[in-house]
Structures are given as structure tokens and as C-alpha cells.
Amino acid sequence: MSIIEMVLIALVYLGIFSVAGLFLVLLERRVAAWFQLRIGPNRVGFQGLLQTMADALKLVSKELTGTEKADKFLYNLAPYFVIITALMALGVIPFTKDFQAFDINIGIFFLIAISSIGVIGILLGGWASNNKFALIGAMRSGVQTISYELSVGLSLLTMILLTRSLQLSEIVEVQKNGWLIVQGHIPAIIAFMVFMIAGTAETNRAPFDMVEAESELGAGFHTEYSGMKFAYFFLAEFINMFLIAAIATTVFFGAWLSPFGITESIPWLGVFWFLLKTLILVFLMMWFRWTFPRLRVDQLLTLEWKYLLPINLVNIVIMAFVVWQNLIIQF
Amino acid sequence: MGSEAIIVFFLAGVVLVAGSNFLSNLISHKSDNAQKREPYESGMKTIGPTWVQFKVGYYLFAILFLIFDVEVAFLVPWAVVFQDFGGVAFIEIIIFLFILGLGLLYAWKKGALKWE
């Protein structure tokens, strides 16, 4: 592999990264407006398509302020963590059979590991800001992310029993005999529901947005970040939401495989199917946001440790039984 | 692309953040005054230091997490080879999860899962 090729791949993924981020911000605002019977941003470009582009340009031209009491080194280091981990995780997502930057044999494990490194960025940023709102937000983020990571890991593990492999391309290959949510029927549906709840919590989105609860913490852990430095956290949050939806698509809904193999002869249409499934799940997460009220910290921990974790442990046994007795539904 | 991709993506991330920071510094409007450099607390002055001893509850949950996260790491290889072993692996994992469930139950009864 030549250097030029590597640079090109990096550039393509940086492009996907920023376009996906910008598009999802706009989608979030339009969906929010839709749920509240408003119109939402529709003036800049066709149907507001260039709105977030304009916002990004504005953010670049804003001054990078910060408190002089902050721990300068850690304060500047924090955005690197959130951006790099989100970018790396994007690299293993199989958009089609060939469109995947690196297909390592521990794919799922890598995704779980990388998503837990991202929280270090939030903890660093919140602590280094030397701001009380930021510190409380960061601490809440820490306890919330590590708690819900267990459920993300265990629900994906339930599906690995079916796939016999951690490699994402092989996970897709197995689903040629039916998507895993159909193959695994009852335990797979439970695992999917647990995964979506835990995934929403892990990305710190409403109703689990204790980390940046506007009404009590200002802007939470990124209170002291301005301009571009704020934009990194914002962008990474939306990319993480996309990643959770993309992982769910890959593991439960057959990634780039078309329903009933209707477009199997045209491989590049895989991107369309992949994005369609992912956007439906992203919409589901936005729907959560405007439906459920925000949880308190104790309710949040009760939900994870007293409900989701025991459900997950029982669910693994059920799935193991289903696989052992060969009760899988295959076409 | 092989495992060198991880390095490529790492560098791409560094370039993205450092590059935009540089660009932002280049074109942004700059002004400075003493109030601007204060920590933001809705216009109030900060009272006391921020870096103080923090609530212990967060630490307890971190310890609990550590126990169960190691368990997830143990379960991964089991899940991959489960279909080759069948019945034996099934009974073994029931024993494993039973002991872990007892651990969770113990923490629950001790009140470690309660947020005060």
C-alpha cells in the first residue's frame, strides 16, 4: 500500500466524517422542528441543506477563549481524544463489501474498546476546564458511560454467539441466510432493544443527557470550550450517534445486504441500503429525545444496574440455549 | 488496508484537530479583557477551588464496572467458540454467570447500587 493511497483513504474518511456530522446536525434540527410543529432551518440552501455549513464557518471564525485557571495541556488535549476515537471507529464500519477502511479480526471488540476511550476525552475536558459545571458534567459522563458500556458489550456479545466471529465482514456474511434479528428471534430482539437504550445512554443523548443538562449545568463538560473546540465535541457527539446506529445496522439488520436480496446483482447499492437502515435508527434515537423526559442520576443507574444488566445476563443464557438446540430461523 | 490503517486514522484525526485549530487562530477576531478569562458560572464569581475531593459514589460504580467489564472480556472468547463445544460450554457458562449473578446480588443487598 503506497503512501498516496493511504492519504487518499484518510481524506475520504475525513470527508465522510465532516459531511455526516454536518448533515446529522441539520437532520436533528429539522426532526426537532417537526416534532414541535415548527418549520426549522430552511433558508440557507435548498431546504436548509447549507445551514450547518454556515454554522461551521461561523464557528471557525470565532475566537478560541478559555479560562486562565484551566490546566492548559489537558484542556487542549481533550478534543483529540473524542475526534480520533470517533474517526477510528468509523474506519471499521462496513458500508459495502469493499468500502471498509480496515477489516480487523476483532472488529466488534475494537469498537467496544474505542468507544470507551472516547469518554476519557470528556473526563479530561471537564476536569481540566476548572469550572464547577464542567466538573459535575464530566463526572456524570464517566459514571454513565462506564455503566452503560456493560450493556452495549453484553448485548453485542449475545449476537456473537450466532456469528461465531468478531470480524465485521464475516458477521455480514452470516446474515446472507437472514438478518440476525430474524435468525435469533426472541433473544435477538431483546438484545436489540437493550443495545438501543444503552447506546443512546453511551452517547449522552436525551433522555440520558445528564452530562449537559442545560437547565442545571450550563453546557456541561464543554462549558469552557468555544469556537472550533466546542465544534469538535459537538461533531463527535453526532458521529457517535451515527456509529451506534451503524453498529446496530451491521449486527442486527444485515449491514449492506438488501431485504430478501432484491438488489444482490448491483453491489454498489449496498451503500444505499446501509445508509437507509442507519438513518432509520438515527431517526429512532431522535424520536427518543423528543418523547422521554430526562432521567435523574439515581434513576439512570437503577435502570442500568437493576434492570438492563440482569436482563442481559439472562438473555445470554437464552441465546446460548437457542444456538445449542439449533432453534435458529434461517432461510 | 491492514493494521497500518489504525496509524493512518490516528494521524488523520490529529491533522483534523490541529489544522482546524490553526485555521481558527488565523482568521478569528481577537479581543481580550480580564472578565473573559474567568471561569463561566452564569456571571457569578467562582467561590472556592474547583478541584476538591469529589463524591465517593462515582468511585463505587467504577469499581463495580471493573468487575463486570473483566467478565465481558472473559465471555468474548467463549461466545466465539460456543458452537463448536455445545452442551459443555452451555453448562459451564451457566455456572459462571450464576456466580457473577450472586456477586451482583451481593452488591445489590449491600446497598452499593443505591445512589445517595
**ipTM, 2 decimals?**
0.89
Give B 5-64 residues with CB within 8 A of chain A.
Answer: 5-6, 8-14, 16-17, 20-21, 23-25, 27-31, 36-42, 46, 50-51, 54-55, 57-58, 61-62, 64
**How would residue B47 be classed by pLDDT, with cut points 50, 70 and 90?**
confident
| Residue A48 identity | G
Residues A289, A205: Cα–Cα separation, whole Å: 7
**How would residue A278 be classed by pLDDT, with cut points 50, 70 and 90?**
very high
Express each pLDDT in A228-245 by its tens digit.
888 888 888 899 999 999
A318 touches chain B (CB under 8 A): no
Express each pLDDT in A35-64 by its tens digit.
999 988 888 888 888 888 888 888 888 888
- How many inter-chain contacts (A to B, CB under 8 Å) are there? 200
Pick among B24, B36, B85 to test the A interface (most A CBs inside 10 A)? B24
Residues A95, A12: Cα–Cα separation, whole Å: 13
**How would residue A195 be classed by pLDDT, with cut points 50, 70 and 90?**
very high
A26-30, A249-253, A256-260, A290-294: least confidently modelled range: A256-260
Q: What confidence score (pLDDT) does residue A123 get?
A: 87
Sign of CA dihedral B100, A245, A20, A43: negative
| Mean pLDDT, chain A, whole residue set | 87
- A65 contacts B65? CB cut-off 8 A: no
Residue A165 has pLDDT above 80, yes or no: yes
C-alpha cell at position A26: 441539520
- DSSP code of A269? G
Helices B57-85 + A132-163 axis angle, to 10: 10
Give A 96-155 residues with CB within 8 A of chain B.
Answer: 101-102, 104, 109, 112, 127, 129-133, 135, 139, 142-143, 146-147, 149-150, 153-154
Q: Which long-range contacts (CB under 8 A, 24 or more apart) does B29-37 make?
A: B29/A61, B29/A62, B29/A63, B30/A63, B31/A63, B36/A65, B37/A65, B37/A66, B37/A67, B37/A68
Q: What confidence score (pLDDT) does residue A174 get?
A: 87
A48-62, A203-217, B1-15: least confidently modelled range: A203-217
Express each pLDDT in A296-313 by its tens digit.
888 888 898 999 999 999
Q: What confidence score (pLDDT) does residue A9 get?
A: 87
Task: Write the CB contacts of A269 (distance below 8 Å, at least 6 apart in sequence).
Answer: A258, A263
Residue A213 has pLDDT above 80, yes or no: no
- A133 contacts B79? CB cut-off 8 A: no
Contact list in B for residue A14 (CB cut-off 8 A) is: 12, 16
Q: What confidence score (pLDDT) does residue B59 get?
A: 86
Contact list in B for residue A301 (CB cut-off 8 A) is: 61, 113, 115
**How would residue B1 be classed by pLDDT, with cut points 50, 70 and 90?**
low
Express each pLDDT in A75-102 by its tens digit.
889 999 999 999 999 888 988 888 888 8
Residue A315 has pLDDT above 90, yes or no: yes
Contact list in A for residue B53 (CB cut-off 8 A) is: none
Q: What confidence score (pLDDT) does residue A300 get?
A: 87
Q: What confidence score (pLDDT) does residue B70 get?
A: 86
Mean pLDDT of the region A175-186: 87
Contact list in B for residue A236 (CB cut-off 8 A) is: none
Name the range with the highest mean pLDDT among A125-134, A151-160, A204-213.
A151-160
Express each pLDDT in B57-107 by its tens digit.
888 888 888 888 888 888 888 989 988 887 888 999 899 999 988 988 998
